[in-house]
Structure 1
Amino acid sequence: MTFKPSMAFRAKAKAGEAMVEAFLKKNGKRLGASLHTHQGPPLMAWSKIGSDKKETLVLIHGFGDRKESFYFIAEFLKERLNLVIPDLPGFGNSGMDPDLVYGLDNYIDWLDRFIEQTGLDTFHLAGCSMGGAIAAKLAAQFPSRVKTLSLVGSAGFYLPGKPSIYDEVIAGSNIFYISSPGDFETLQSRIFRKSPPLPTCVKEYMILKAMGDRKWLAKIFDELVDMDSIQSGKISLEQASLNHLCKDITMPVMLFWGRHDSLLPCETAPFVEELLPRAQVHIYEEYGHVPHLEGPRQLAGDMLDFIYGSAS
């Protein structure tokens, strides 16, 4: 049964939204982030942090997320890297266009045009969760442009015999389809090993937003994964995965994964390592699905070691 928020709940959620937006704006200003808009189509909002470093890292966020979630790790990356952080179409401030098809190939085309417009010739690339799948396919398609690839709890790959969120959706349960505060708490417990404490009004805002976005997120998820083809039996989960593209990802790759990831099992990392020509694995024993939020300083340090170690 869908939860029906009271007027008081909605009022507190509104206050929570203002608190979140003020915090993110203040954090972006402190980091020196400049905000830009790629006109597309489709329109893409993006942040740039730094411009005087030799190397640039493009960061691709995960499902249901936004560019500002990388501000925590940016704190520890910005001294050595320029950072380019887009809101993917369909998320954040890039808008929601119901007429678009949010398939993986379209995301690659959109990002290709975006990167070309920003003037980047070669760059380092990192993606978390859904952003990992997009980053991996982008790297496979443009191997001469991507210097290194960092994948954090990456979606897109399939480990036979090990259940993941994809199997759950096929079985009729999408963890991102939020209909109640209880559903939200379950999602938080699945994303984090230890859910972070939130002010009540912020949590109520996040619950209300997740409920309002659930049909939109279901559309993007189904189109991104090509769930219609999988559920109809036209293709298997393995055929829909990026496993077959691994041979084309020829730059150095680091697979960062949380041991307690309950959405995409960490056993996927060593499996994918064997498929990639030049890959390493780093497992975080203390984290879940989002090491960039649970341990941003540690992940940033390890990512910098990887990026600059690969160049030596």
Structure 2
Amino acid sequence: MKKPLVVALISIVIGFAIWAGVTYPRIGGEVLALASKIETTLYGLHRAEIEISDSRLMSWQGGPKDSAETVVMLHGYSSEKTVWMRFASHFTDRYRVLILDLPGHGETAFDPALKYDSVSQGERVLQALDALGVAKAHIIGNSMGGFIAAQIALHHPERVRSATLIDPAGVVAPNTSDMERMRALGRNPFEMSSREEFDTFYAMTMSQPPWLPRMILDYMADDYIARRESLARIFHDFHDVDMLDTRLSEFGVPVLLLWGERDRLLDISSAEVWRQGIPGAQLITYPELGHMPMLEDASGSSRDVLDFIAKHQ
């Protein structure tokens, strides 16, 4: 084979490899977006923008607008509104549902001028409720979202019918989680620079994750890598800031705690800190689930929350 032809073939192979490496995860993102659009439509959710003082919050909203009860769902750090899709489908027949992309997450832009601590984010959630004319709501939050929900319940009990905290951040765990052990060695699993590091992180987030094709996982990995700097800033603003250990006795709203016993990010030992500290708090744990029960078992966890909310309308 002549040398020019060999060089041409090698160039074609290299070009195809580069094209595949760039395009393949991008297709995964498009597939994920399409699947999410189809599912949310089936579940009666629609995309809507909410203008507040310092942000344009993207959201999914659904359920009867004239419902006397509103349920707000707040995702965790580095996550987005899609984690609530299937969970929310169990609420939209009877409750007005609001699922937010918090600033710096999902479709809501990151702005380095903003503060991302749990109190500031909680104030933005209240501004969103004001914009929608909602005076009082049931607040559900996972992880960082649980921390934010707790801050809202503590500082603005008049706005909260009930608070459901799912594997929430916000107190010091008696036992060390896998994440904290990694951080003690100088590595935050949320901050990654390769798809291999994403795979390690993803395995920590859930014990029973929903199946996703590789192209979607690679798209998610590339997205985390691209957001590394903004995620580091958000983590710095909220992690171990305005902790609630000494203020739990001040809670004056009904509180339900849900926790996956296989949580590797926030250790299950935190659950008893919350339960013992908050007057009347209820705790339900899931032996087979991890950090995101609402995604790992949408049907079972939503049933527990619906039963709780029904008692506090």
Give your verdict on TM over 0.5.
yes
Query: Would you say 1:287 and 2:289 are equivalent positions?
Result: yes
- Per-residue CA deviation, residues 143-185 of structure 1 (Å, 9 max, x unaligned), is 1221111000111111245446456435421110111222111
Q: 1:35 — aligned with what? A: 47
| Over 4 Å off, 4+ runs | none
Counterparts in 2 of 1:41-56, with a 5 A limit?
A: 41-50=54-63, 51-56=65-70
Specify the SS of the correspondent of 1:147: strand
Shift in Å at residue 6 of structure 1?
4.5
Query: Would you say 1:85 and 2:87 are equivalent positions?
Result: no
Is there any run of 5+ residues in structure 1 with no aligned partner, and where?
Answer: 228-239
Once residues 180 and 144 of structure 2 are traced to their aligned partners in structure 1, the CA distance between those partners, rounded to angstroms, is 12
Q: 2:264 — aligned with what? A: 262
Cα 1:226–1:284 change in 2 (3 A) is: closer
Once residues 48 and 145 of structure 2 are traced to their aligned partners in structure 1, the CA distance between those partners, rounded to angstroms, is 20
Q: 2:8 — aligned with what? A: none
Q: 2:125 — aligned with what? A: 111
Q: Is the CA contact 1:17–1:202 (under 8 Å) kept in the aligned structure 2? A: yes
Is there any run of 5+ residues in structure 2 with no aligned partner, and where?
Answer: 1-16
Q: 1:211 — aligned with what? A: 225
Once residues 175 and 123 of structure 2 are traced to their aligned partners in structure 1, the CA distance between those partners, rounded to angstroms, is 32
Shift in Å at residue 299 of structure 1?
0.5
Q: 1:231 — aligned with what? A: none
Q: For 2:110, which of 96, 103, 127 is the aligned residue?
A: 96
**Count of residue pairs brought into register by the alignment:** 295
TM-score (ref. length: structure 2): 0.89
Once residues 170 and 306 of structure 1 are traced to their aligned partners in structure 2, the CA distance between those partners, rounded to angstroms, is 37
Percent identity between matched residues is 29
Q: For 2:167, which of 153, 175, 183 is the aligned residue?
A: 153
Specify the SS of the correspondent of 1:244: helix
Counterparts in 2 of 1:1-312, with a 5 A limit?
A: 6-40=18-52, 41-50=54-63, 51-163=65-177, 165-166=179-180, 168-169=182-183, 171-225=185-239, 240-311=242-313
Structure with bigger gyration radius: 2
Cα 1:260–1:26 change in 2 (3 A) is: same
Once residues 54 and 223 of structure 1 are traced to their aligned partners in structure 2, the CA distance between those partners, rounded to angstroms, is 35
- Per-residue CA deviation, residues 62-118 of structure 1 (Å, 9 max, x unaligned), is 111111221110111222321111110111111111222222232122222222111
